[in-house]
Amino acid sequence: MAALLAARGLQTSDQWIVERTGIRARHFADDGVNSSDLALHASLAALQAAGRVAQDIDLIIVATSTPDMIFPSTACILQHKLGIAGCAAFDVQAVCSGFVYALAVADAMIKTGSARCALVVGSEVFSRILDFNDRTTCVLFGDGAGAVVLEASNEPGILATDLHADGRHVGILCTPGTVAGGQVLGDPLLKMDGQAVFKLAVQVLDSAARAVLEKAGRSTDDVDWLIPHQANIRIMQSTAKKLKLPLDKLIATLDEHGNTSAASVPLALDVAVRSGRVKRGDTVMLEGVGGGFTWGAVLLDF
């Protein structure tokens, strides 16, 4: 990874990156490959794992901060690529909390009878908004996608959700640019105050975890696996320690793909399931935290 950055004119080392973040590798999408393309691959894998076909889906929610276009939504583009039409499809923009937000929305819509079989996707091409002159951010983020199929059932899978935001902290993690009059206004590259994000993330992830456990009538002893947003290994380990969860219950995959924003939680969940760690009957806590400032948790019986 350091060789790639050096080729772009930024001097760093793999040791420097790993020690500070836990990240060993990332993936950047090829030119012309968009969030909807990555979302399509993830969606097909999720459908296969669930034993469903695209025609079974009656709701599509895509969590992304790097959409294909200003509009229409990446979810509508994904719907077309899946070869289906008619079901509701929309994006959720909560940055790195996006998948947790999208999962909570899908759960609520299923519980109210608005949908029965939802496709929930986190997909990002963050490489397109990185400033490769900023070593504090360009070593962190990568591209990827993950997806799940959520269905109505008499047995609860999602036990409780807890979502929050605090717009007072907009400036600590943002991409402060927009398009107007055919021009980019502001700065279209990612900006982050790393220390401020770290302190706030550890605090709010702990509070969201405790809130979702209280809503579900569970305790930390009931949690088999913690799958937080894959941002920084120190944040993740600090969260587990605050909850008094042993680190062997923490699913960490950021060493393989870096911070993929809204894609990081479903990517980690997929790895945990396919590796045989997360199994039927396990209680899993998913957590997200990101720009906005947004955060949230979902507790589920797998």
Active site residues: 96, 229, 259
Beta-strand relationship, 173-174 and 177-180: unpaired
Separation between Cα atoms, residue 295 and residue 162, nearest integer Å: 8
Nearest to 295 by CA among 191, 197, 213: 197
Separation between Cα atoms, residue 167 and residue 140, nearest integer Å: 23
Burial label for 71, CB within 10 Å (0-12, 13-18, 19+), is exposed
Cβ-based neighbours of 96, under 8 Å, separated by 6 or more: 229, 231, 259, 261, 262, 264, 288, 289, 290, 291, 294
Query: What DSSP character marks residue 3?
Result: H
Separation between Cα atoms, residue 169 and residue 191, nearest integer Å: 13
**Phi, then psi, of 39 in degrees rounded to 5:** -60, -35
And the tokens for 208?
A: 């969201």
